[in-house]
Chains A and B, each alone.
Chain A
Amino acid sequence: GAVVSQHPSWVICKSGTSVKIECRSLDFQATTMFWYRQFPKQSLMLMATSNEGSKATYEQGVEKDKFLINHASLTLSTLTVTSAHPEDSSFYICSADSGRYKDEQFFGPGTRLTVL
C-alpha cells in the first residue's frame, strides 16, 4: 500500500506556456502533500506544503504566482507551472502524508519538465 503517482512522468513545453503536474495518493487519503524540486545532481528542495481545502504554504524564495498549487481533494494535489521558462526545467517530486503513518512520507516517481 501507500502508493503515490504523478502525471505526467515527463513533459516538454514551449517557453511561455503553462504546465500542470498531478500528484495522487492511490490507496490512502493524504492530509498533506509536499512539492519538491530537484535540479540535476542536487538534492530535493521543498517548494511548498499543501493541505486539502486550504491554501498552500510556500517556502521562502518560491514564487507562489509562478507555481500554483491546488489540493482539491484528499487524494489529489496539482502543481501548475505558469508561463514556464527554461530555468523552470527541473525534476518535480511530490510526497504525501497520510497522517496515519506519522513518520513517513510517500514519494511519487517524479515529473521531468523541460521548457524549450
Chain B
Amino acid sequence: AQTVTQSQPEMSVQEAETVTLSCTYDTSESDYYLFWYKQPPSRQMILVIRQEAYKQQNATENRFSVNFQKAAKSFSLKISDSQLGDAAMYFCAYRSQRDDKIIFGKGTRLHILP
C-alpha cells in the first residue's frame, strides 16, 4: 500500500522569505501523480501544484515549486516570497494511476510571520 509522510506538523516563516515543506512517499508503482494541496481556514481544498512521476522536470507554479526526487521518493514544496495569504494547512498527496485514489499525508500547518 502507498503511504505519504509529512514529518513537519508545523512550520513558520517570515513574510517574504522562502520555506520548504517536506514530503516522502512509498510506492511500488512506477507511474503516478503527486500533488500539494492547500487547505485554508475555509476548509476548501485548493490545488497548489502537481507533478507527473514520469516527468523529470520539477513543476513550477509562480512562487511555488517542487523538488521531485523519484529515486528517493521525495517531493518537497518550496514557497518563495511567502505572503500572509499562504498561511494554511498544506497536504502532500499521492494519486495512483491504477485506481485514481488519492492518499494524503498528515499535513503541515504553515504560519507566516509579519
Contacts and interface: CB of A to CB of B under 8 A. Distances in A.
A95 B102 CA distance: 10
Interface residues of B, number: 19
A43 B43 contact: no
B100 A97 contact: yes
Contacts of A67: none
A109 B42 contact: yes
Interface stretch (B11-19, B45-53, B60-68, B80-88): B45-53
Nearest to B1: A60
B100 A43 contact: no
Contacts of B47: 104
A109 B44 contact: yes
A104 B106 contact: no
29 contacts: A32-B100, A34-B102, A38-B43, A42-B106, A43-B105, A43-B106, A44-B45, A46-B101, A46-B102, A46-B103, A49-B99, A49-B100, A49-B101, A91-B43, A93-B43, A93-B45, A97-B100, A103-B33, A103-B50, A103-B52, A104-B47, A104-B50, A105-B95, A105-B100, A105-B102, A107-B44, A109-B42, A109-B43, A110-B44
Interface of B: 33, 42-45, 47, 50, 52, 91, 95, 99-107
